[in-house]
Amino acid sequence: YQTPGIMSLIPHLEMHYGTFIPKGGMHRISMSLFELAKDQGICFHFNEKVDEIVLEDGKAKGVTTSKTNYSADILVSNMDIYPTYKRLLPGLKPPTKTLQQERSSSALIFYWGIKGTFKELDLHNIFFSDDYKGEFKSIFKDKTLSDDPTVYVNITTKDVPGDAPPGCENWFVMINAPGDYGQDWTTLKNKARSLILEKLSACLQRAVEPLIVTEHVLDPVGIQENTSSYRGALYGAASNSRFAAFLRHPNFTRQVQNLYFCGGSVHPGGGIPLCLLSAKIVGDLVPDMNSNQEYA
């Protein structure tokens, strides 16, 4: 209700041009990039928390991790821009106005293994709230969950039967949520779970809860912990103004040479396609990619 009208082009693009499913699931996007990078001779270091980006004379010189130090000629951070400045660049003056922008919504997600199949459901399913405007008021103004949430259910077994055992389905059940502002998420999760089950069971005319054989829950706190996304925001800054798209942090900073940024919290925006485009933009910005420079 506050998002610029240009966003209405998204349904047109999806309906007119269609959408795509990576073979092997969404995870294959990152794995394919990883495999391509390895083929190019790139070395990866896992399970090392980056503590700080090392600066010297206005240039990025490397990173300090939980295990060691790495020197680099070029540094690219794909962490959310807020913790990048607050945690990795403590000595650098942060872009205050950018970091103070309203954050986007987050999500509460239930991953359910369902014993049974629902022929009336498809790959994408949306069960709308009877008060859609009120739902966004709850999220952005009241910082809580709606009492009548819109429920999105994704079932990849509809296209890839092997994603679940025979006679079963894998349900990705998501509702919009506010970011983490210190709410009691245990209480909110339990309440939301009951509301979601009530709505789905009523719409499908079949009790869903007895069919759940496996369950994993991801809330805004978990999203923040797993991805370093500030407050668990899914798209970085909110798009609730006509200028939001133009106020995103650029893919570089004039304060530090050789330091670049990519990901959903910087230009051009959130969502997997734009995150990948963000990385492409950084690749074009970095000079002389074919040289013998070292990157981190």
pLDDT of 5 over the 90 cut: no
Q: Is the pLDDT of residue 296 over 60?
A: no
Instruction: Give the tens place of pLDDT for each residue, 195-242.
Output: 999 999 999 999 999 999 999 999 999 999 999 999 999 999 998 888
Specify the pLDDT at position 291. 56
In one-letter notation, the amino acid at residue 90 is P
Question: Nearest 5 degrees, angle CA 270-CA 246-CA 278?
Answer: 40
Under 8 Å CB-to-CB from 239, ≥6 apart: which residues?
3, 4, 7, 104, 245, 269
- Residues 254, 274, 151: CA angle, nearest 5 degrees: 130
CATH code at 5-14+25-101+235-285: 3.50.50.60
Residues sharing a CB contact under 8 Å with residue 43, sequence separation 6 or more, in sequence order: none
pLDDT score, position 292 = 58
| High-pLDDT (> 70) share of the chain, % | 97
Amino acid at 103: R
Mean pLDDT over residues 64-81, rounded?
96
Average pLDDT value over all residues in the chain:
94
Higher pLDDT, 251 or 19: 251
Which of 52-61, 226-235, 281-290 is predicted least confidently? Answer: 281-290
Name the band, by pLDDT with cuts 50, 70 and 90, for residue 64.
very high
Over range 238-267, report the average pLDDT.
Answer: 92
Spatial separation of the C-alpha atoms in residues 126 and 74, rounded to whole Å: 44
Q: Is the dihedral of CA 201, 206, 208, 210 positive or negative?
A: positive
Q: pLDDT confidence of 247, banded at 50, 70, 90?
A: confident
pLDDT in the model for residue 290:
54
Residue 157: pLDDT over 80: yes
Using the predicted structure, report yes or no on whether residue 253 has a pLDDT greater than 80.
yes
**pLDDT higher than 90, residue 3:** no
What pLDDT score was predicted for residue 24? 87
Taking a C-beta distance cutoff of 8 angstroms, is the pair 278, 115 a contact?
Answer: no
pLDDT value for 1: 82
Question: Is the pLDDT reported for residue 54 higher than 60?
Answer: yes
Can you tell me the mean pLDDT for 31-44?
A: 96
Which pLDDT belongs to residue 89? 97
The count of other CB atoms within 10 Å of the CB of residue 27 is 9
**Tokens 């369950």 — which residue?**
215
Segment 21-26 shows an average pLDDT of 87
Q: What is the pLDDT of residues 165-189, one digit of tens each?
A: 999 999 999 999 999 999 999 999 9
Q: Is the pLDDT of residue 139 over 70?
A: yes
Q: Residue 278 class from Cβ within 10 Å (0-12 exposed, 13-18 middle, 19+ buried)?
A: buried
Q: What pLDDT shows up at residue 21?
A: 82
CATH of domain 106-227: 3.30.519
**Mean pLDDT, residues 112-132:** 97
Element (H, E) at 108: strand 106-115
Q: CA-CA distance, 51 to 74, in Å (whole number)?
A: 17
Per-domain boundaries in the chain: 5-14+25-101+235-285, 106-227
Give Cβ neighbours of residue 288 (< 8 Å, ≥ 6 apart): none
Question: Tokens representing 54?
Answer: 């090392």
pLDDT tier for residue 39 given thresholds of 50, 70 and 90: very high
235-259 mean pLDDT: 90
Query: Is residue 293 predicted with pLDDT exceeding 60?
Result: no
Helix residue ranges, H only, the chain? 9-17, 27-39, 81-83, 96-99, 132-140, 185-204, 220-227, 272-285
3-state secondary structure of 122: coil
pLDDT at 295 over 60: no
The candidate with the shortest Cα–Cα distance to 125, out of 194, 208, 188, 185, is 208
